[in-house]
Amino acid sequence: MPALTIALDATPLTISSGGIRRYTEELSKALAVAFPEDRYYLISDQPIELAGPVPSNLHGGAKASNTVLERRWWLWGAQMEMRRLGCNLFHGTNFSVPYLRRRPSVMTLHDLSPWINPNWHHAAERVRARTPYLLRFGIATMIITPSDAVRREAIARFRIAPERVAAVPEAAASWFRPSAAPTHLRQPYFLFVGTLEPRKNVPLILEAWRKLKESHDVSLVLAGRRRADFPELAAEPGLVILGEVPDRDLPGLYSGAVAVLYPSFYEGFGLPVLEAMQCGAAVIASKDPAIAEVASEGAVLEDATDGRAWFQTMQTFLEHPDEVQSIRERCLRRAGQFSWPNTARLTREVYEEAIRRFGR
């Protein structure tokens, strides 16, 4: 297939952190590097900024919405911008594509959490309303899911033809690697990295850690943005709330932890799990199907509702560090099976399939 000009939804880049931002940023760069003959445009009706150096064929920025039509972004504005840029296809990186079927489109459906439990998302009414329409009526030509688990869920829930849905795994950025532990944190510590929100099940590890602290001098470190629907945590000895952490500090945080804890009730992929594994961290995560698919033989998996099991596993990790070393090695091996170049290659194959399907 000849060179393509692709528009990607840059809206996730307006958020300071989170898995969808990471996905949009890393994927767009990996595509531009892997396919230098293509042109990639990150488009949005809001100001966005790409971090770090970017390939010369990747262009970012917001289109000023000067007219009434342009301000109706998903109906007209995105279409007008793609026509101006000569784009062949739109990739919706965040649950949406333009509403009119003027050109091929691909939607990444990260997970089904907005529909599984509305209490997990305090501001997802628009996604819950519009995304099923875009899926069922073929407005999105092809759909990408980050795991086979989400692919199966999407086909069943939205009654999508299986051939329209491709599972394309994500990856951890290359700079996630074993690093020196941070000197400003007192050892030992358990670590959670992720947005503080109801779905992440943080109260479970808080209770397990409090019980463990009765007999062990160990800290719990929480790193991530607190969403508005997650209550503020009161200060207590040993609980370290870092808030958002610069990317450069994450490898050391992961590497220095006794274990990285990820007790989420539900995930579409679980990117922090893979980031931690790529840093050589031992990981204790929930038995969510997507997390189990990603972690495979690497992480130790526990039921997201079994606080006693989490306490016992954390205790074992703390008291038997020699046994944990083999888990770290398993995590590293498993993480080595993922890469953004591979994600970019598989994603572009979906673009090509979307263009073929749209032309029928």
Contact between 5 and 38 under an 8 Å Cβ cutoff? The reply is yes
In terms of domains, do 86 and 200 share one?
no
Distance CA 188, CA 84 (A): 55
In terms of domains, do 111 and 254 share one?
no
Domain ranges, residue 57: 5-171+339-358
Into how many domains does the chain fold? 2
The residues, any chain, with a CB within 8 Å of residue 309's CB and separated by 6 or more, are: 302, 303
The confidence band for 69, taking pLDDT boundaries of 50, 70 and 90, is low
Query: Model confidence over 267-297: pLDDT tens digits?
Result: 999 999 999 999 999 999 999 999 999 999 8
Residue 4: count other Cβ atoms within 10 Å of its Cβ.
18
In terms of domains, do 140 and 270 share one?
no
Tell me whether residue 176 is in a domain.
no
In terms of domains, do 152 and 203 share one?
no
In terms of domains, do 223 and 318 share one?
yes
Query: Model confidence over 132-179: pLDDT tens digits?
Result: 999 988 999 999 999 999 999 999 999 999 999 999 999 999 999 999
In terms of domains, do 225 and 253 share one?
yes
CATH number, domain containing residue 312 = 3.40.50.2000
In terms of domains, do 120 and 232 share one?
no
What average pLDDT does the segment 182-204 reach?
94
Q: With 70 as the cut, is the pLDDT of residue 197 above it?
A: yes
pLDDT value for 140: 96
Q: What percent of the chain has pLDDT over 90?
A: 80
Q: With 70 as the cut, is the pLDDT of residue 79 above it?
A: yes
Q: With 60 as the cut, is the pLDDT of residue 203 above it?
A: yes
Q: Beta strand pairing status for 259-262 and 189-193? A: parallel
Tell me whether residue 294 is in a domain.
yes
Q: With 70 as the cut, is the pLDDT of residue 201 above it?
A: yes
The confidence band for 188, taking pLDDT boundaries of 50, 70 and 90, is very high
